[in-house]
């Protein structure tokens, strides 16, 4: 059975749902599971057209702070269970994680913290990432299959930013952040996009300033990782750079079980 997934930081679900670009994409998309990050709305604030759309089981995890963070998943497949957060109080009040269990895998839809200006939230981000990795490794050791998607707010390697030298020292490209993605791979998880495309110029986020998207001066911040045991189940992984509506674009994954 083939399962298609998509992930998109929409930079505000209320704002993006007012754009024709979003609806032309949504109505054409044939994914079984749609993951949103940076929803920035309570469940009650989800636009009516999107909240009431048929054919999906809908799950949200919202931040305590209004208009901030938050994730949502729309699934055509009924999951076995849904868990909000990592189960650690100090990490969970920003609505950053949905853990959704399906018969063949456990999906993590995550909006990773930004490390902040001059690394002001780096300690929080490192704590969040380390707790997540600990849980992923434990589940992997139990024989669970895992799909970890979302806006990681980290560009892993020089190839993942348009100007590596200029990006050094900037939030999202700090040594501690990039080292964590090294740890994720060393723990047995695979960056699915790089299974198919090792080329340059593949980005998922562009600043709204300086016509960055027109010039493709971007960063690759959005990923689908899977545990290496299901690497051979991956059919495709793509970046949909031609989809507009946010400062990020969607990324996709197709699996066959």
Q: Residue 141: what pLDDT?
A: 98
* The two three-digit tokens of residue 235, written as one number: 């059919």
The residue written with tokens 């057209």 in the block is 49
Main-chain phi, psi angles of 170, to 5 degrees: -95, 150
- Domain of 45? 2-256
Q: How far apart are the first and last CA of the chain?
A: 5
List b or e across 80-107, with b for residues whose CB sees 16 or more CB atoms inside 10 angstroms: eebebbbeeeebbebbbbbbbebeebbb
Q: What is the pLDDT of residues 15-66, one digit of tens each?
A: 999 999 999 999 999 999 999 999 999 999 999 999 999 999 999 999 999 9
> Nearest to residue 177, comparing CAs of 213, 251, 126?
126
Which of the residues 151, 160, 191, 222 is marked catalytic?
A: 151
What's the mean pLDDT when you consider all of the chain? 97
Q: What is the pLDDT of residues 225-256, one digit of tens each?
A: 999 999 999 999 999 999 999 999 999 999 99
> Nearest to residue 148, comparing CAs of 99, 115, 193?
99
What is the percent of the chain where pLDDT is above 70? 100
Q: What angle do CA 222, 155, 129 make, to 5 degrees?
A: 75
- Could you tell me the pLDDT band of residue 192, with boundaries at 50, 70 and 90? very high
Number of compact structural domains in the chain: 1
CATH at residue 138: 3.60.10.10
> Nearest to residue 33, comparing CAs of 72, 88, 82?
72
Q: What is the largest CA-CA distance in the chain?
A: 48
Q: Residue 58: what pLDDT?
A: 98
151 annotated active-site? yes
- Could you tell me the pLDDT band of residue 2, with boundaries at 50, 70 and 90? very high
Inter-axis angle of helices 175-186 and 122-141, to 10 degrees? 0
Per DSSP, which regions of 103-221 are E strands? 106-111, 146-151, 189-191, 205-206, 218-219
Residues 249, 204: contact at Cβ < 8 Å?
yes
User: What contacts 218, CB < 8 A, 6 or more positions away?
Assistant: 161, 162, 203, 204, 205, 206, 212
Residues 227, 189: contact at Cβ < 8 Å?
yes
């Amino acid at each position: 059975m083939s399962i298609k997934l998509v992930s998109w930081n929409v930079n505000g679900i209320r704002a993006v749902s007012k754009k024709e670009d979003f609806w032309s994409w949504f109505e054409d998309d044939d994914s079984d599971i749609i993951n949103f990050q940076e929803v920035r709305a309570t469940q009650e604030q989800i636009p009516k057209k999107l909240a009431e759309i048929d054919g999906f089981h809908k799950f949200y995890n919202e931040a305590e702070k209004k208009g901030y963070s938050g994730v949502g998943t729309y699934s055509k497949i009924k999951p076995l269970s849904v868990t909000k957060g990592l189960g650690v109080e100090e990490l969970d009040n920003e609505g950053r994680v949905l853990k959704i269990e399906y018969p063949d895998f456990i999906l993590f839809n995550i909006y990773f913290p930004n490390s902040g200006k001059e690394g002001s939230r780096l300690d929080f981000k490192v704590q969040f990432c380390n707790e997540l990795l600990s849980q992923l490794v434990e589940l992997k050791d139990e024989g669970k299959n895992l799909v970890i998607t979302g806006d990681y707010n980290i560009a892993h390697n020089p190839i993942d930013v348009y100007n590596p030298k200029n990006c050094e020292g900037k939030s999202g490209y700090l040594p501690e952040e990039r080292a964590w993605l090294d740890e994720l791979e060393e723990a047995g998880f695979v960056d699915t996009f790089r299974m198919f495309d090792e080329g340059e110029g593949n980005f998922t986020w562009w600043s709204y300033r300086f016509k960055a998207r027109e010039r493709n001066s971007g960063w690759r911040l959005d990923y689908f990782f899977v545990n290496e045991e299901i690497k051979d189940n991956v059919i495709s992984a793509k970046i949909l750079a031609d989809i507009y509506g946010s400062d990020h674009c969607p990324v996709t994954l197709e699996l066959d079980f």
